[in-house]
Structure 1
């Protein structure tokens, strides 16, 4: 979501690229029945490394805002014009998410309307409006209000037929609201991890990223910025773990403790990458693949998702045959690496495949943005 600028923070592209590569890895196992635990989402409360990926991307969207908006404001664009551009981008993201869901059946009557890109679009639009017209204090107040308010709503307001504080998959207030609005057009039939109410704390995730972006633009030394990022990250991790005792860390509900914990770990990891890449200039061969992914993040996310859908639809042996993805897993990976090893090897092959394609685009200076 950022534009090329002089003095570009390379670590931000690398962090974004790491996040997208991780998305491709966890979204494309050879077999969903054979996934190593760290590469699968937590069943409900708790977290795995996979549960960190989506909030990291929203956090990165927030980090990029001070860079892209400052440049355009310096060029004379007004806040109203910038926000119209934000709305256009948000609608494109939402449209892409719906298109990925609709193609090729176009079964709009029963199609799930929520999704990853839809949430990114909504969060980006809301967070950008708050950033453009709100001071730093206002943004901190909004973050606090969203997190405390969401905690209060989810623990004090009962869903019809449930008790207050019921955080089970079907009994929580967010799931009830999604069923009321969408019926059974939800990811799990009765609940959805990208639902309406849980989008509110996701906005806080993005807003926390804007503070990191401002620190990067503050003019302070790289060492001082790194220390500030690490300190903030450590504080948020501790606060998230403490809040977990009362409001469990849960990606599907995007709980307030989850927001603090994931933003904290994002700061710690990004701080390390910033210190290594931009402060110490340790830009070896390990950085380039991440930057290649980061410069075409939305494009590769959409393309890889549609490619996976295509592999699942093509049948080897006719209409009653096995999906091409399953056949490739069995014949090219499971045959020599076993169930779990073959499933992981299949996913790694997908990461490598898309890296090659994105590298070709990168070498030709093609960076697809919306």
Structure 2
């Protein structure tokens, strides 16, 4: 644990990260999984919802942070030492993800190997050498090459499904190349709800790498000293709209928008929204021409900044707490979570709203934890 001053951090990036972690806590912790408003659950398969933004935002943010950090270190930095550091960080994130999947029973034989943190760590490991040794043109080439290669593999390669029936270019659950690869290499260690495929599988990690490279490119633009902050904010908006247009074209003509498959259209969609949302935060907190306005927005958006300074720690802790709420019993057959939810269910409101109230309370509790850490200057680094 370390202490850092706000002056060493980009306020808008912390706010964007805080927005993502607050949204993640909200959608991951409803009072009742069967009572959800549509935007607060993932798209069933093709298509997207607000919830489908959140994890790609973390990947995009990780790319911005990586590029911005490297730009501050300058060309004289020891790249090999930085690579070792980034690989250690990625490996640590993977181990944290595996530990969360093992908790609380530690049944290795049924351990789900893929996961959100595992993908984030693996993507960090794969992107690190591209960030360190490639210029922006080479990074753009990697971005396009990964998406093109992934699209071709998913379209051309024929594979058997879990029943042995062969498919070429099928994007139905469990029938694509990624699902076959996961069953072949990770059989018995996939997402328990699907068993024959995993939303954070191996093959779809490649377009997730492209999502982080998009963040790298955004971070390079952000770090340019020759550009006015207002101009940077404007181009984030323009780039975001362009990416959304490309996403719609790809959705119509090639592989459809699909979070579970992390299709190229999904990469452009979430990159576009990432540019737009971050562009708003950047203009309000770092690029607005009037200092009084920036200071006023910094006060109003401070809760998001507070959340964003320890996002990884809060996410991991929330996973532990959520599991404990479902395991600890306060009475026969009554878990601690059910005990908390019962008064909300008794309210004369829509059951979905009662479920949302529990999630909002969960977020509020974690904001209290984040605020206490912020007050003490604690930043948990991996």
TM-based fold match above 0.5: yes
Please identify, of 139-148 and 213-222, the stretch whose mean Cα deviation from structure 2 is larger.
213-222
Equivalenced residues, count: 364
Q: Tell me, yes or no, if structure 1 residue 243 matches structure 2 residue 250.
A: yes
Map 1:1-370; keep pairs closer than 5 Å.
6=7, 8-73=9-74, 76-160=76-160, 161-187=165-191, 188-219=194-225, 220-245=227-252, 246-280=254-288, 281=294, 282-318=296-332, 321-331=333-343, 333-336=344-347, 337-370=349-382
What is the CA distance between 1:330 and its match in structure 2?
A: 1.7
User: How big is each residue's C-alpha offset from its partner over 1:27-52, in whole Å with a ceiling of 9 and x where there is no partner?
Assistant: 00000000110000000000000000
Please identify, of 3-12 and 279-288, the stretch whose mean Cα deviation from structure 2 is larger.
3-12
Give the secondary-structure state (helix, strand or coil) at the position aligned to 1:316.
Answer: strand
Task: Determine the C-alpha separation between the residues in 2 that align with 1:106 and 1:148.
Answer: 39
- In 1, are the aligned partners of 2:93 and 2:118 still within 8 Å (CA)? yes
What is the CA distance between 1:184 and its match in structure 2?
A: 2.9
Calculate the TM-score normalised by the size of structure 2: 0.92
Task: Determine the C-alpha separation between the residues in 1 that align with 2:319 and 2:15.
Answer: 21
Structure 1: which 5+ residue stretches go unaligned? none
What is the CA distance between 1:322 and its match in structure 2?
A: 2.6
Task: Determine the C-alpha separation between the residues in 2 that align with 1:43 and 1:109.
Answer: 28
CA 4–235 in structure 1, closer or farther in 2 if over 3 Å, else same? farther
Task: Determine the C-alpha separation between the residues in 2 that align with 1:315 and 1:95.
Answer: 29
- In 1, are the aligned partners of 2:22 and 2:307 still within 8 Å (CA)? yes
- In 2, are the aligned partners of 1:73 and 1:79 still within 8 Å (CA)? no
- In 1, are the aligned partners of 2:87 and 2:128 still within 8 Å (CA)? no
Task: Determine the C-alpha separation between the residues in 2 that align with 1:193 and 1:253.
Answer: 7
- In 1, are the aligned partners of 2:123 and 2:209 still within 8 Å (CA)? yes
- In 2, are the aligned partners of 1:313 and 1:324 still within 8 Å (CA)? yes
Task: Determine the C-alpha separation between the residues in 2 that align with 1:286 and 1:323.
Answer: 37
Task: Determine the C-alpha separation between the residues in 1 that align with 2:274 and 2:73.
Answer: 27
Structure 2: which 5+ residue stretches go unaligned? 289-293
Calculate the TM-score normalised by the size of structure 1: 0.95
What is the CA distance between 1:361 and its match in structure 2?
A: 0.7
Give the secondary-structure state (helix, strand or coil) at the position aligned to 2:168.
Answer: coil
The CA RMSD over aligned residues, in Å, is: 1.4
Task: Determine the C-alpha separation between the residues in 2 that align with 1:112 and 1:7.
Answer: 37
- In 1, are the aligned partners of 2:233 and 2:283 still within 8 Å (CA)? yes
